[in-house]
């Protein structure tokens, strides 16, 4: 099968012809139709996340159909459309797994990092960690739901019931979360790179009440924020914009250092935190919620062979919505 593989960190992916993956017990073999490209993939390539499986097939927002089943795999019939997220396996035994926090499992394995992912024509996945894909989304539109949507949704929940919410960094995840937050009746304040007027107009189209540069102060205090951009200073920028009781969550897996700040800025029951990974429950909830809103997904689709170009578009931010690779026989 054709794949784009990472052989060494800090080098571009290269095309490769790989043997078909062998489906193990409890796993499904998936014909990949589309795979979302995430900023985490960029952190893996750049070496900001250490010790990936190498060589590695990246990609943790996989949409495809089941074409084979390993021993004991019965959850999805052949031909069924499924999604594979970042959380690929958990131990089920550690103190996190047994307390409803499998996202923090000590021995978790992640798709497209510890396990081969979806930048390939075929993928295998543990059926317990796959999700059914809501109808009404094409394969390419559904792919970003699996990380950009899901982990953003978890971050939004951890912010609590903030009425005025700031979204810092308006990429794949924020463009989904903006719609979810507006649907929940929250007032959204979107922060883009300074001067990104196209991004700001896009945010307003998706329900943001106000959009401006991250160097601007919002027109009023915010009650909570999610920081999507991997820029530590945005945590303190957001903090200075908040009202008492606000929570500020970083939704990314890697971020530059957070600068120090006077304690009085944190005083007033403000909190800074992070969101790590997802639980299967997050996935089930979000996959049910997205079509009810309905969340509209804006994608820039490229063929699998252009995975490096798709990664570059995330790096430069020259992207409206989410980057997705079309693999095999995608719909759309
Ligand atoms: Zn565990
Ligand atoms: Zn991701």
What tens digit of pLDDT does each residue of 25-48 get? 999 999 999 999 999 999 999 999
The Cα 230–Cα 314 span in angstroms is 12
Which ligand sits nearest to residue 60's alpha carbon? 2
Which ligand sits nearest to residue 102's alpha carbon? 1
- Could you count the other beta carbons within 10 Å of the beta carbon of residue 18? 15
Contact between 87 and 111 under an 8 Å Cβ cutoff? The reply is yes
Q: Provide the Cα torsion 226, 231, 236, 237; round to 10°.
A: -80
Ligand 1 ion: Cβ-proximal residues, 5 Å cutoff: 90-91, 94, 97, 105
Contact between 191 and 167 under an 8 Å Cβ cutoff? The reply is yes
Predicted TM-score of the model (pTM): 0.95
Decide the pairing of beta strands 81-84 and 131-132: antiparallel
CA of 88 to the centre of ligand 1 (A): 12
Contact between 48 and 2 under an 8 Å Cβ cutoff? The reply is no
3-state helix, strand, coil in the chain (%, to 5): 30, 30, 45
Indicate the pLDDT class of residue 328, thresholds 50, 70 and 90.
confident
What is the Cα Rg of the chain in Å? 19
Give pLDDT tens digits for 209-261: 999 999 999 999 999 999 999 999 999 999 999 999 999 999 999 999 999 99
Which ligand sits nearest to residue 101's alpha carbon? 1
CA of 109 to the centre of ligand 1 (A): 10
**What are the structure tokens assigned to 129, written together?**
């960690």
CA of 281 to the centre of ligand 1 (A): 15
CA of 99 to the centre of ligand 1 (A): 10
Which ligand sits nearest to residue 145's alpha carbon? 2
- Could you count the other beta carbons within 10 Å of the beta carbon of residue 209? 16
Which ligand sits nearest to residue 110's alpha carbon? 2
The CA-atom distances, in angstroms, between 301 and each of 5, 39, 229 are: 19, 16, 22
Which ligand sits nearest to residue 144's alpha carbon? 2
CA of 200 to the centre of ligand 2 (A): 23
CA of 130 to the centre of ligand 1 (A): 17
Indicate the pLDDT class of residue 125, thresholds 50, 70 and 90.
very high
């Amino acid at each position: 099968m054709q794949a784009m593989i990472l052989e060494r960190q800090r080098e571009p992916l290269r095309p490769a012809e790989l043997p078909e993956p062998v489906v193990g017990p409890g796993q499904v073999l998936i014909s990949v139709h589309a795979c979302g490209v995430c900023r985490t993939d960029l952190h893996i390539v750049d070496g900001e996340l250490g010790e990936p499986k190498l060589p590695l097939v990246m990609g943790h927002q996989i949409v495809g159909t089941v074409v084979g089943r390993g021993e004991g795999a019965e959850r999805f019939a052949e031909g069924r459309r499924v999604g594979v997220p970042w959380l690929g396996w958990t131990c089920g035994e550690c103190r996190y797994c047994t307390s409803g926090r499998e996202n923090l499992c000590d021995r978790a394995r992640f798709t497209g990092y510890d396990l081969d992912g979806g930048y390939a024509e075929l993928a295998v996945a543990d059926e317990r960690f796959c999700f059914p894909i809501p109808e009404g989304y094409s394969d390419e539109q559904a792919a970003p739901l699996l990380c950009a949507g899901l982990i953003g949704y978890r971050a939004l929940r951890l912010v609590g019931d903030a009425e005025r919410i700031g979204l810092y960094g308006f990429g794949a995840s924020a463009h989904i979360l903006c719609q979810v937050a507006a649907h929940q009746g929250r007032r959204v304040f979107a922060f883009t790179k300074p001067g990104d007027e196209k991004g700001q107009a896009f945010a307003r189209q998706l329900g943001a009440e106000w959009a401006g540069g991250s160097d601007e102060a919002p027109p009023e205090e915010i009650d909570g924020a999610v920081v999507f951009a991997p820029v530590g200073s945005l945590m303190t920028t957001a903090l200075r914009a908040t009202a008492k009781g606000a929570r500020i969550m970083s939704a990314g897996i890697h971020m530059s250092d957070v600068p120090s700040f006077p304690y009085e800025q944190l005083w007033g029951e403000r909190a800074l935190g992070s969101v790590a990974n997802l639980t299967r429950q997050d996935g089930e909830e979000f996959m049910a919620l997205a079509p009810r809103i309905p969340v509209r997904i804006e994608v820039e689709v490229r063929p699998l062979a252009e995975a490096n170009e798709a990664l570059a578009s995330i790096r430069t931010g020259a992207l409206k919505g989410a980057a997705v690779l079309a693999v095999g026989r995608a719909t759309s």
